[in-house]
């Protein structure tokens, strides 16, 4: 496994990561980690590598875009001093363009998204040894669907950003596409965005496989 003993692994993102995690920091007893893939990652790390004592923290916040992450980066990431950082953001950056098309002032364009994501990585590389960029996703098999096509565009930005900064990359859309060959999208997410337990397991598996944890 890639994680060294007693490493601190922090996840940050939007509602898909959040899932009722505790405030101000999603860590601790009584479901503080939340109900997302982050909790599954924590559980499997402890079950498969109990001696490593990996510390997992959830800093997702529902409704956030990459610009919101930028506003809270110091307190919610840098001040917590993780050894590993996983960033998954972009669903709301894209979704607001479709569910609130007239409110253009809250839209995050591809150029703005690219610039902000690069700034976050640049601000973190010197202080966080290991960074993982995870693509946003839309649980829709039709790649010609307007929102799916737009999400793929933002996913490509994440992939390019990871390559430019030589940081780790997880294609969550590809993970869902593999499952969509056998299951309907409604069986994974009622709105094609917020996963049920199956969808969160898909995400957790993608993260754990990347970290070298066999399931």
- Residue 170 bridge partners (DSSP): 134
Instruction: Answer yes or no: 15 catalytic.
Output: yes
Which residues, in sequence order, are bridge partners of residue 131? 85
Among residues 211, 195, 213, which one has the least CA distance to residue 37? Answer: 195
Query: In this structure, what are the phi and psi dihedrals at residue 201, rounded to the nearest 5 degrees?
Result: -65, -35
Identify the active-site residue in 15, 145, 165, 177: 15
Decide: 148 and 142 in contact? Cβ < 8 Å: yes
Which of 76, 194, 200, 214 is the catalytic position? 194
Which one, of 1, 46, 50, lies nearest residue 212 by Cα? 1
Return phi, psi of residue 175, to 5°. Answer: -65, -40
Cβ pair 24, 73 in contact under 8 A:
no
The residue among 88, 92, 203 whose CA lies nearest residue 135 is 88
Distance CA(31)–CA(25), nearest Å, equals 12
Q: Is 194 a catalytic residue?
A: yes
- Here the tokens at position 118 are 């690069």
Residue 151 near residue 137, CB atoms below 8 Å: yes
Which one of 145, 191, 200, 210 is the catalytic residue? 191
Q: How far apart are CA 202 and CA 206, in angstroms?
A: 6
Active site residues: 15, 191, 194
């Amino acid at each position: 496994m890639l994680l060294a003993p007693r490493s601190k692994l922090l996840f940050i993102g939007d509602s898909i990561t959040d899932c009722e995690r505790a405030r101000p920091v999603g860590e601790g007893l009584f479901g503080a980690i939340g109900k997302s893939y982050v909790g599954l990652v924590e559980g499997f790390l402890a079950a498969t590598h109990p001696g490593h004592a990996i510390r997992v923290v959830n800093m997702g916040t529902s409704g956030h875009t990459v610009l919101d992450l930028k506003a809270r980066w110091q307190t919610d990431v840098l001040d917590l001093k993780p050894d590993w950082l996983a960033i998954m953001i972009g669903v709301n950056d894209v979704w607001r363009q479709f569910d609130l098309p007239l409110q253009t002032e809250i839209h995050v364009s591809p150029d703005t998204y690219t610039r902000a994501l690069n700034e976050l990585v640049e601000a973190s590389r010197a202080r966080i040894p290991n960074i993982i960029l995870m693509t946003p996703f839309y649980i829709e098999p039709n790649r010609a669907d307007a929102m799916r096509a737009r999400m793929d565009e933002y996913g490509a930005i994440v992939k390019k950003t990871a390559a430019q900064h030589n940081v780790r990359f997880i294609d969550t859309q590809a993970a869902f596409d593999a499952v969509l060959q056998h299951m309907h999208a409604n069986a994974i997410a009622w709105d094609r965005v917020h996963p049920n337990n199956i969808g969160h397991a898909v995400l957790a598996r993608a993260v754990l496989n990347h970290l070298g944890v066999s399931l």
